[in-house]
């Protein structure tokens, strides 16, 4: 059973087990396929609708990636500013906490109203949703410089900017990685909500349409594609985090 200790076979085994269980439930219960399609039906739908799925998946992936990039850039920039300037902390922190208290998902209809049915509204929703976890995690990391390193900076007469980039930022990278993990989990939620609220393209739109027409197998196929996107994002992040260590 040594081959079981490697991650890839373990993941495949778990997936295989879950799919088998799903198939057995469908067989035994006799649920109609428009309520719960069997994994086999979903696989067939994935194959048959591949061009459609690909087209919608590209739109969703674009929104996801641009939104993530914008959220990370804004979040990191805000955290650096907060760490550098006590005035900025005084002004911005209450605003940040207030912004966190507003459920951004609830703003999705307004954003669609303002920015239209295209990519812009989805990108802004993703950016807003991940902005806070990134800012908050990175800022906390930046402010948690161990006292001994604070002493070192003081004795070496460090300039504030160099203290930030040579001591605080490297120290805060693990915290930023935690923020990014949260962001990668939240971002697909955000993009789907955005596409549900008002869109003519994207996996969220496709799922809504398929559900409305009773094409539950297509809806599950879209879900599989979305899950694959999330997993790829997560894998890329873990690969980066490993490289940074």
Distance CA 127, CA 123 (A): 6
Instruction: Compute the least distance from the CB of residue 164 to other proteins, in Å.
Output: 10
Between residues 5 and 157, which has the closer beta carbon with respect to other proteins?
Answer: 157
Residue 85: how many other CB atoms lie within 10 Å:
13
Between residues 142 and 191, which has the closer beta carbon with respect to other proteins?
Answer: 142
Between residues 21 and 173, which has the closer beta carbon with respect to other proteins?
Answer: 173
Instruction: Compute the least distance from the CB of residue 180 to other proteins, in Å.
Output: 18
Instruction: Compute the least distance from the CB of residue 14 to other proteins, in Å.
Output: 34
Query: For 240, how many CA atoms within 13 A lie in the half-sphere containing its CB?
Result: 13
Tokens 């950016």: give the residue: 127
With a CB cutoff of 8 Å and minimum separation 6, the contacts of 193 are 105, 108, 125, 204
Distance CA 218, CA 199 (A): 18
Instruction: Compute the least distance from the CB of residue 165 to other proteins, in Å.
Output: 10
CA angle 99, 117, 73 (to 5 degrees): 45
Residue ranges that bind other proteins, judged by CB under 8 A: 146, 148-149, 151-159, 162-163, 166-167, 170, 173
Between residues 55 and 151, which has the closer beta carbon with respect to other proteins?
Answer: 151
Between residues 153 and 192, which has the closer beta carbon with respect to other proteins?
Answer: 153
Looking at the chain, the number of H-run helices and the number of E-run strands are 11, 0
Instruction: Compute the least distance from the CB of residue 80 to other proteins, in Å.
Output: 17
CA angle 22, 25, 30 (to 5 degrees): 130
């Amino acid at each position: 059973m040594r081959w079981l200790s490697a991650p890839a076979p373990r993941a495949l085994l778990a997936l295989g087990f879950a799919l088998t269980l799903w198939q057995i439930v469908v067989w035994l219960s006799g649920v109609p396929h428009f309520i719960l399609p069997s994994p086999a039906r979903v696989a067939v739908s994935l194959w048959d609708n591949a061009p459609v799925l690909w087209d919608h998946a590209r739109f969703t992936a674009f929104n996801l990636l641009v939104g993530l990039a914008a959220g990370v850039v804004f979040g990191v920039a805000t955290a650096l500013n907060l760490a550098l300037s006590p005035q900025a902390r005084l002004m911005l922190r209450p605003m940040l906490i207030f912004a966190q208290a507003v459920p951004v998902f609830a703003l999705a209809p307004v954003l669609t109203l303002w920015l239209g049915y295209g990519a812009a509204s989805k990108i802004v929703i993703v950016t807003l949703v991940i902005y806070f976890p990134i800012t908050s995690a990175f800022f906390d990391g930046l402010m948690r410089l161990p006292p001994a390193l604070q002493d070192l900076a003081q004795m070496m007469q460090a300039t504030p900017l160099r203290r930030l980039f040579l001591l605080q930022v490297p120290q805060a990278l693990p915290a930023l990685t935690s923020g990014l993990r949260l962001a990668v989990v939240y971002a697909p939620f955000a993009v789907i909500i955005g596409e549900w609220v008002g869109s003519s393209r994207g996996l969220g739109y496709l799922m809504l349409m398929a559900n409305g027409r009773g094409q539950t197998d297509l809806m599950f196929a879209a879900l599989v594609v979305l899950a694959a996107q999330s997993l790829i994002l997560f894998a890329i992040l873990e690969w980066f985090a490993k490289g940074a260590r």
